Amino acid sequence: MQYEIIENGAVVNTIIASPEFMAENYEASAYRLADVPVVPVQLPRQITVGAFKARLTSTERKAIRALAQADADVEDYMDLLNSAAYVDLDDARTRGGLMLMEQAGVLGEGRALAVLDAPVAPAERP
């Protein structure tokens, strides 16, 4: 924890210590917890390939596989997806590929963004 050391009403130092250390080495009036702003950590929006596919319904996955047999762009997208170590939900290629599926009619209107913009669950992370 971070503490401010106080002398004559003014903060003279800031240290990192355990509560036990502070209690053993300082009078209670000689320190206070420092007001440390909490900076939220933005984790990358990356999920496993399996988690990405699981965001689609069985019907959607089957329709995409069928379309891939007839459309070289969809086949290429699926080839890249299947060989990926993970899926970055914010990557333009990921987003563009899924939007292509929606435009082709294998995903319903708004489904691409629903799949791409859903919060990432801890179990989905690589």
Q: What is the tens place of the pLDDT at every residue in 20-56?
A: 999 999 999 999 999 888 788 889 999 999 999 999 9
Q: Are residues 28 and 51 in the same domain?
A: no
Q: Are residues 109 and 65 in the same domain?
A: yes
Question: What dihedral do alpha carbons 41, 93, 69, 111 form, nearest 10°?
Answer: 60
Q: What is the tens place of the pLDDT at every residue in 43-102?
A: 999 999 999 999 999 999 999 999 999 999 999 999 999 999 999 999 999 999 999 999
Q: Looking at the domain assignment, is residue 16 inside a domain? A: yes
Q: What pLDDT, on the 0 to 100 scale, is given for residue 8?
A: 93
Q: Looking at the domain assignment, is residue 40 inside a domain? A: no
Q: pTM, whole model, 2 decimals?
A: 0.69
Residue 22: give the domain boundaries.
Answer: 2-33
Q: Looking at the domain assignment, is residue 41 inside a domain? A: no
Domain count, the chain: 2
Q: Are residues 50 and 96 in the same domain?
A: yes
Q: Are residues 81 and 25 in the same domain?
A: no
